[in-house]
Structure formats: structure tokens, C-alpha cells
Amino acid sequence: MKILNDILAAKTTTRALERQGISVGFVPTMGALHDGHISLLKVARAVGAQRVVASVYVNPTQFDRDEDLKRYPRDLDADFAKLEAAGCDAVFVPKDELMYPCGYQTEVWVPEASRGLCGAHRPGHFVGVTTIVTKLLNIIRPSFLVMGEKDFQQLMLTRLLVSDLNLDTQVVGAPVARDDDGLALSSRNVQLSDVEREQARSIYGGLQAAQRRYYEGERSAERLVVEAKAVMSVAGLEPEYLELRSSLTLAPLNSAHQPCRLLVAAYVGSTRLIDNVVIAGDERAQTA
């Protein structure tokens, strides 16, 4: 596995592949890799990428709280070992001064889709995400960009920016990877104490309860939300948001009569977790 520490090395490597007609699948990450990230590498291969490039970069501009940035787990050696074992061909690991040199000022903003959900609770977060994703795409120029559906709003924003800015990449969403107890895999899970981990299970438990109500015939967004909240509340969790949204446009919905997902964010202790499930329809075929 090639370790690419600077932008020129990353461009030289990926442009050489491009010239040879070899397709690249790109998996951007902030490190602290877990099986969910590794599943993204597999999806990249499955959709036809002949080489897989990952990036490990804890992007400071997407953290709305300094404390969160400081606490974000980092273990580069373990990340390299996991990527190598998963057959990753190259990893881009830039430093802050390369990505945001002195005098840097350009931002990429997808205003409407950044509003609400995580955007409402993490000021500036999505500008940081869409800016770094655009920069990474310009550096790597992949045929496929693979991102997890756990960060569903991020995935939707990325689809929009790729389409709006006419970038030549296909955005591929990969299903949420879960632990045996249902908890969505997240780099932040290592921050949970045993008791918090137990509480955190109720996030998926609540989402599943709403899914069951949907299968039993319930279509009211309000009642599906109440069902999910009840499960989380028993575990002592009060979600930051819990909303039914269109899977295609992210618009808020009153009822589940079109492809939609239930999306949630909740603090478990001081760790903020997000998750979502499909309630109606299967929008998975959608790509930018």
C-alpha cells in the first residue's frame, strides 16, 4: 500500500492510473478505522473500482467544538494495518498545513440541504465537510466515491455537490454497518463507557420499533417518531433530533408514503451518535 503524504504524490499516483484507464474507488475517512470503513473499501471493489484509495484526515474545519476535535480518536498505525489488510492500494494522509495553507479562504457550501438535522445542531460542520470533500475529489479524481449511509445528510450533500459542480465521479452509498448488538459502527463508539454503550443500543432499538410500526400499517410521521422516542427514553436518551425525511430530497415528511428514512442524533454522555433506517421504499439505486 502506497502512503501518500502530499498532494503532488497523490495527484501523480492517481493521474498515472487515470492515464492507464484504471478506475479508482475513493473512500475518504477521518481514521480510527473500524469494520464499517473496511466495508466501504469492499463496496468500492464491488462497484467496479480496479484500485482503491482511502484518505485519513481529521478535518479540523468540520468540528464545531474544539473539545470534540481534541477528543476525536486517532491511531494512524492501526489504520494503516487495517487498510493494508483490506487490500487498499494507496492512502492519502495530508497534514493540516497542506490542506489549509496560510491564506486559505475558499469554502464550498450546499445551503439548503445543509439546513436542519445535523446542520441545525453543528454550526459550520457541513461547510467543513463539503469543502474538504470537494478538495479531496479534486486531488484524487476517483471514478467512484464511496460513503456510508450512516451519515445520510452528508451523503445527500455530497451527491448534490458532485452533480451541481459537474464533478466526474459516481457517488456510491454503502449500507450502515452495525455491531452484533445493532449499534451503528462509528469511530466515536470507543468513547462510550459500558453503561453508555448499553444506552446507545436503544438508538437502533428505537429506530427498529418505528420500522415495526410502519410494517404494521402506521404511516404518521409523528406516531413513528413517538414510538422510536419511547424506546430511547426508557434507556435515558433524549434525541437531539429524530425526524422522518424523504430519502430522495431530505425534505421533512408528515407521513411515510414515499421513500423515507428516520434519522436520529443523540448524545450518550458526552458522545454524539447518529443513525438512520429506511422506513419506506428503497432508494439505494440512486447515484449521482
By CB under 6 A, what part of segment 114-153 binds ligand PAF? 129, 132-133, 151
* 121 close to 240: Cβ distance less than 8 angstroms: yes
Q: Which of 109, 160, 102 is nearest to 132 (CA)?
A: 109
Contact track, ligand PAF, 153-172, x by CB under 6 A: -x------------------
- Of 23-62, binders to ligand PAF (CB under 6 A) are 28-30, 59, 62
CA-based max dimension of the chain:
57
Residue 145 Cβ vs ligand PAF, minimum distance, rounded to whole Å: 9
Residue among 92 and 214 whose Cβ is closer to ligand PAF:
92
Strand 24-29 relative to strand 51-56, pairing: parallel
Q: Which C-beta is closer to ligand PAF: that of 91 or that of 228?
A: 91
If one asks whether residue 79 binds ligand PAF (CB under 6 A), the answer comes out as no
Q: Which is nearer to ligand PAF, 29 or 143 (CB)?
A: 29
Annotated catalytic residue, options 37, 121, 125, 257: 37
Active site residue 34: no
Q: Which of 124, 121, 109 is nearest to 157 (CA)?
A: 109
Q: Which stretch binds ligand PAF (CB under 6 A): 22-30, 46-54, 70-78, 256-264?
A: 22-30
Tell me how far apart the alpha carbons of residues 259 and 224 are, in angstroms, rounded to a whole number.
15
For ligand PAF, which is the closer residue by CB, 132 or 250? 132
Nearer to ligand PAF, 221 or 274 (CB): 274
Min dist. Cβ of residue 28 to ligand PAF (A) = 4
DSSP of 197-213: HHHHHHHHHHHHHHHHH
Three-state secondary structure string covering 58-94: CCHHHCCCHHHHHHCCCCHHHHHHHHHHCCCCEEECC
Binding marks (x or -) toward ligand PAF, 197..216, rule CB under 6 A? --------------------
C-alpha span between 111 and 127 (Å, rounded): 9
Residue type, 145: L
Residue of 61, 7, 64, 57 lying closest to 27 (CA atoms): 57
Residues assigned a catalytic role: 37
Which parts of this chain interact with ligand PAF (CB under 6 A)? 28-30, 59, 62, 129, 132-133, 151, 154
